[in-house]
Each structure stands twice: as C-alpha cells, then as structure tokens.
Amino acid sequence: MSTTSRRTTLLLVRHGQTVRHAENRYAGVSDVHLTEEGRAQAEALGRWAAAHPVDAIWTSTMSRAVATAEPACRALGLVARREPTLRECDFGVLEGRTLAEFEQENPARAKAYRVDPVSYPFPEAEDPRTAAARGTHALRRIADTHPGERVLVVSHNTLLRLVLCTALSIPLGEYRRVLPSLRNAAVTELRMEDGAAALVSLNVPCGP
C-alpha cells in the first residue's frame, strides 16, 4: 500500500493593495492596478515564497492578482496557472463605490446587507452562493491536481472568505463577521485532504 500523502497545503493570498482598496472602494470585477504599496507587498510575498517550500502557483486572471504573484514566480522559477473561477465577486452597483456611499442613497438595503450579505447582496451583484461554489470547486480541483504539494493561490478578499466559510462549515451569511478581512498579500494556510479542510493559520504577514 502506498504511503504517499494526498494532503495538499493551499497557501491562500489576497492580492496586494489597489487604488480602490486604499479608498475602501469595492473593486470586484473591475480591472484595477496595484498601488506602490501593493507592489511592495507583492515583492514581500516573493521573498516569503523563496524562503518557504512552494511547488506551484495559481492565480485569478485579474491583473492585480497576476501582478501580486509575479515576484513569487520569478523567485521560484515557476509559471503561474491562471484560473478564471478564482476571480473576485461582481458587486453590481457597488463596483467602484464605498458602502457608505450606497448607504446614503439606500439605507434599508445597506442595513440588510450588513445583517446578512448573502441573503441581501447588492443590486445586480453576483449571488454570493454562486461565487462560493465556483471558488470552492476551483480550490478542490487545485488540491486534486497537486496531491501532497504546497500551492500558492492568489485570489481576492470576498471570494476567499466565502470559500473559507464553505470549507470550514461556517454559514455563508456570517462571512463578514467571522472573517472581517483578509489582509493584502498575507498568507492563510488551508490543508485539504479527502475533501476535508483544516485551517492552519490566518492572515500571516510576509513582511516585517
């Protein structure tokens, strides 16, 4: 009988800071670029990856995720696999805006969102349950593709929080309360084995 471990370690990373995040605006499916600080965060992630075992790198197809992964790819001599289903959620009418701005024009809907963001998503936004399902399927496929390996996965704040809740059996409607935010370019370690997931660490910074 083979004793080869099929446990895959997923090193989940939210991309570096963008101009919209610096202003607390929803970026969603808009293709926004990293700030100078975001590029520095990406370089710190690259140094972290060079000092830790990483066998493969996967990223969202969005440019801010690809740019965040580039220093790690250079450091390790790897080519990132770009996965469309790791993209961020579409936030509908909130794209490019802040929650405070939306609340001024629609306070009742904003209040409902704060209470349960899954049952009451923003108008014209992607259903968070649909986003959670596609993101979870992507991570399971990555884990199945790399049994026994350590994989760096660069994606997005809301998608990763939804996926973590799904993997850890936390009600999706609680994702904003349980996981207020994933820090830019910080590492969250998730171990996947036989369809089960275990959270090893959350929001570990790569820089000093």
| pLDDT tens string 103-128 | 999 999 999 999 999 999 999 999 99
Residue 21 annotated to the active site: no
What was the pLDDT predicted at 59?
98
Q: Please give the model's pTM, rounded to 2 decimal places.
A: 0.95
Give mean pLDDT, residues 154-183. Answer: 97
Nearest to 178 by CA among 190, 162, 192: 162
* 64 marked ligand binding residue: yes
Nearest to 60 by CA among 28, 91, 26, 35: 28
Give mean pLDDT, residues 125-145. Answer: 97
Rounded to whole angstroms, the Cα distance separating 161 from 147 reads 23
What was the pLDDT predicted at 161?
98
Marked catalytic residue, from 15, 21, 146, 156:
15
pLDDT interval class at 1 (50, 70, 90): very low
Residue 70 annotated to the active site: no
Cβ atoms 89, 128 nearer than 8 A: yes
Give mean pLDDT, residues 72-89. Answer: 98
**pLDDT > 70 fraction of the chain, expressed in percent and rounded:** 97
Marked catalytic residue, from 43, 70, 83, 88:
88
Give mean pLDDT, residues 140-164. Answer: 97
Rounded to whole angstroms, the Cα distance separating 16 from 41 reads 6
Was domain 8-204 assigned CATH 3.40.50.1240?
yes
What was the pLDDT predicted at 6?
81
Place of tokens 């809907």: 109
Give mean pLDDT, residues 162-177. Answer: 97
